[in-house]
Amino acid sequence: MKSKVTHLFTSTFGEVPARLAFAPGRIEFIGNHTDYNGGLVMGAATTEGITVATGKRDDREIHLVCERGDPVTAHLDRLEPADGDGSWSNYPIGVTKVLLESGMTMDCGCNIAVSSDLPIGAGMSSSAAIELATAYALAALFGFEAGKADFARIGRKAENEFVGMPCGILDQGVSAFGLADHLVRIDCATEEFGTTPMPKGTHFWIFNSNKKHALVDSAYADRHKECHDALAQLQVRYPQAKTLSEISPEQLEAAKEDLDGLLYRRACHIIGENARVIAVQEALAAGDLAAVGAALTASHESSRVNFENSIPELDFLAQTLSNENNVYGARLTGGGFGGAVMAFTSAAFSLNQARAVTRAYSNKFGFEATILHTQAGPGATLL
């Protein structure tokens, strides 16, 4: 990746880059849509990710290039979102804008090149990876200092306010705090970050449905609003609750008649998912991988029934994988509405088994699912 982005930068701009940074994609292990509801989440940084190369210019322009998508030119004094094939640049440009608002001084423009080995649209948060890699590279280039949590918040703010995606801190937090062979745990109410060792001999297999999601244009914003509306109805009975995650499953059931049926299901998913994160933490501590797998499978079922952010392709992959030997559990990973399913497996799960699943998928839907066998890797860093 380092040589790839260096070649892209050099061939485009005619000089070697001054700074390079890498940020990983992420696997959402458990905690679906709980982040912007003040809940708990667990994820893993992947060994795959995005690398950004940058160098200073002698004018006030920002020139951006990537392997896919049109080259983009922006002006440092007029940082505005781009449309069409250049819209990929909204993530690095948005980060630039937030860095400036956070106190970074840019005395000139810059060149930016972006290279990725993440599957785009698979729900592994290429957006957070490009945000974090850009933030690390530009901060080093222009002498701005910040901690991991600060960089995660800068990425989230860029995505919320510049891109227009109302995400929580999960994606950026996992990309920033990733650690090899560890899960990242985030309490999104307090924005406290920690890590938990992965059980030995366990693996991640990602099955990309190749039904790409575009969350800005999908029902993600609708779900965000529905969660807000559900909380407002529940606050009539529980005025002390500031987020859905502060309400217990028992309190939700007691207030069921107070809620619109749709909003009850949305709340049921978030409140139940928060409880599942706690259950997974306890099961991991006890070494009970069967219980971990059961919670993952239950998470997908709640996504399918209560949150309705799954699709038939994801349901097929999750169910088929859950029935395979050597699979503890499987669930959609990420925002949903397309993307990928994660299988949490033992070391005995084989490529032949994975290919049998994709053949069955192809027979049913008429197109291929693709496989990524990955592991928990380190977080964002300068190269």
Residue in 171, 229, 260, 288 annotated catalytic: 171
Residue 35 appears among annotated catalytic residues: no
| C-alpha closest to that of 146 among 21, 31, 46 | 21
Write 187-195 long-range contacts (CB < 8 A, 24+).
187/40, 188/34, 188/35, 188/36, 188/37, 188/38, 188/39, 188/40, 188/41, 188/245, 189/38, 189/39, 189/243, 189/245, 189/246, 191/149, 191/153, 193/148, 193/149, 193/152
- Report residue 144 as tokens: 């701005």
User: Do residues 192 and 186 make contact, with C-beta atoms less than 8 angstroms apart?
Assistant: yes
Question: Could you tell me which residues are beta bridge partners of residue 372?
Answer: 206
Element (H, E) at 127: helix 126-142
**In this structure, how many other beta carbons lie within 10 angstroms of the beta carbon of residue 213?**
22
Residues marked active site are found at: 171
